[in-house]
Structure 1
Amino acid sequence: TPAGLPGLFSGYDQRVRDLLATPAAGEAYFSPVEEVSGETWAHGRVVLVGDAAHASSPNMAQGVAMAVEDAQVLAEVLTTGGDTEHLLQQYVQRRLPRTRWVQRQTHQRDRTRSMPPTVRNIALRYGAKGLYERGYAPLRDLP
């Protein structure tokens, strides 16, 4: 709840604590992180892209990147010509594996939040580089 924020951030810079002491901090909205998944991104000649089609936890910071990739792949597919509805289904089938992979990665990262802080801190201190490299390696390839 908003009332618990000052305690959670007590070790932070005074500017952060001052911000949390303002009346607006009491109006903070808290909710679980929502995810959008499904395979119906296209219906007829209408298609969803980005978070509207496949939103995930923000822990990988891939929201904009996935939306830009969607636009790139959609443009590539549509320029091949043919039936638009069929082309939109091709776009969805081409994007599903990559967006599903990102969502699986975010699920794995979200699970670290429930680890005891001591264990999590040690694991991240010594394994962060490898986690980062494995976690982003597939995204280095073009979509």
Structure 2
Amino acid sequence: DVTKEATIELISPECICTTAEKIFDFDLVSCATDFANELSSSFEFRFKNDKTIHGFVGWFDCYFDSMTKLIILSTSPFSESTHWKQTIFPLKEPILVQAGHSIRGEIRIGKHAHNPRALQVRLLLQQPNLKLVYNIC
């Protein structure tokens, strides 16, 4: 296990070298209050260029669908910046990747064992075989 602190930063869109993938999708109107106790999802990111990657970037989008208009709040690096910025999950060592190749893995998110206001995020990468643990407050 590698335990790191995730950081909150503004990321330039030019720093994103993979396709963006939806990892989780929630209907906050109908989900139970304890839905976030333990979440997991598989992912696959396909690389657009030959690059050295130093971590993963996470963000969220909220869709407010009224009777008259859809309003989207996006914290994506491709949208206008917000005070939420993006979450950076750094790698212990950079990984060299090639255009057209992909990296697959699983993300697991749960409550932090000692801090009720924090989350613990686990990234399990299939290739290279890494298990990374992050704490987000």
Which protein is richer in strand relative to its size?
Answer: 2
After TM superposition, the score normalised by the length of structure 2 is 0.25
After TM superposition, the score normalised by the length of structure 1 is 0.25
